[in-house]
Amino acid sequence: MAKPSVAILGLGIMGSGMATRLLSANFPLAVYNRNREKSLPLATAGAFVAATPREAAFRAQIVLSMVSEDAASRDVWLGEAGALSGASPNSLLIESSTLSVGWIKELASKAAERGCQFLEAPVTGTKPHAAAGELVFLVGGAAEALDVARSVFSALGRDVIHLGPIGSGALMKLINNFLCGVQAASFAEALALIDAGGLDRAKAMSILTGGAPGSGILKRMAERAAANDFTPVFALRWMAKDLAYAIDGASGKGVSLPLAAAALSVFQQAIASGHGEQDFSAVIKLPQRK
C-alpha cells in the first residue's frame, strides 16, 4: 500500500527529527519552517521545501505541526497563507505541539469547518527519540482519524495512547510537563542547599539519583550539572510556558496547582536571569540564597 504524503510544519528540535525519520521511512514529505535555512538539509534528503504552510498542506494527505506555543500554532494554521487554507477536505490534520487545551479545541473546530479530520497528538520524548522512531503519542480525537494516522505514528513512535476526545492529549501532556517542572525546581533548591551546607556535590547527587527521589528528570539534571552543559534539548522558557498553560487549564476546571505556580515563579526568575534559551536544567543556576 502506498504511503500517504505528509507535511511537517515546524523544524525545530522535534520537528526536524520527525521529518528526518519520515524521509528515512520513504514517506513523500513536504516541510515548512519560518527560517528556510533549517529546511535545506531535508531538501537534500528528498523533502519538498514549501514557501508557506498553505503550500505544504496542499501537497499532503496528512499535515502535522510541531511548533513552540499557541501563538505559533495559530499562525501556522490560520495566519496569512496558513495551512488550513491549503488543506484538502478529508485530509488529516495533526497538532503535535504542547499547547493549551482551549486552543486545541478551537483548532479542532476550525478543522471541522474546513471538512478535515483532526487529531491532537503531543509527544513524550526528545529529538533523538523522534529521529529513532521512539516517541510516545498522547492522542485525543476520533478513533477513525487515528486509524488514518497510524502509519505515520508507527514510523515516528514506539507507542500510541488514545486518551479520549479532543483536549485529552493536551491535558495529559501538560500534566506530564508540570510534574517535570516541579521536580526540576525542587532539585535546583536541593542543589543550592547541598552547596550551602558544604556537602560533597558529587556524592550528594549520587545519593539522590540512586535513591527514592531518583526520577529520570533528576538523573538528567544531575548529569547536566556535573558536565556543566546546558545545551538546549528542551529550552527553559518552554518549560515555563508549559507550567503556565497547565496552571491556566487547571483553573478552568476548578483545580489549583500551587506547586506548579511556585515552580513557574522559579523558572520565570531563571528567564529574567538570562537562562531562558538554555536547557531547562539550567534552572539550577538561579541563586537560591536569601
Longest distance between any two alpha carbons in the chain, whole Å: 64
Report the C-alpha gap between 225 and 254 in whole angstroms.
Answer: 37
Residue 152 per-residue DSSP state: H
The answer to whether 224 and 280 have CB atoms below 8 angstroms apart is no
Q: Which of 3, 173, 253, 290 is catalytic?
A: 173
Cell (9 digits) for 160: 500510541
Sequence-separated (6 or more) residues with CB below 8 Å from residue 177 = 98, 239, 242, 243, 246
State phi, psi for 75 to the nearest 5 degrees.
Answer: -65, -45
- Alpha-carbon separation of residue 149 from 3, 82, 102, 141, 152 (angstroms): 11, 21, 23, 11, 6
Q: Is the dihedral of CA 278, 281, 287, 290 positive or negative?
A: positive
The answer to whether 10 and 72 have CB atoms below 8 angstroms apart is yes
Report the C-alpha gap between 100 and 265 in whole angstroms.
Answer: 19
* Side-chain-facing half-sphere of 212: CA atoms under 13 Å: 0
Q: Is the dihedral of CA 190, 195, 198, 200 positive or negative?
A: positive
Does residue 219 carry a catalytic annotation? no
- Quote the Cα angle for 96-3-106, to 5°: 25
Paired sense of beta strands 135-141 and 117-120, if any? antiparallel
Q: What are the catalytic residues?
A: 173
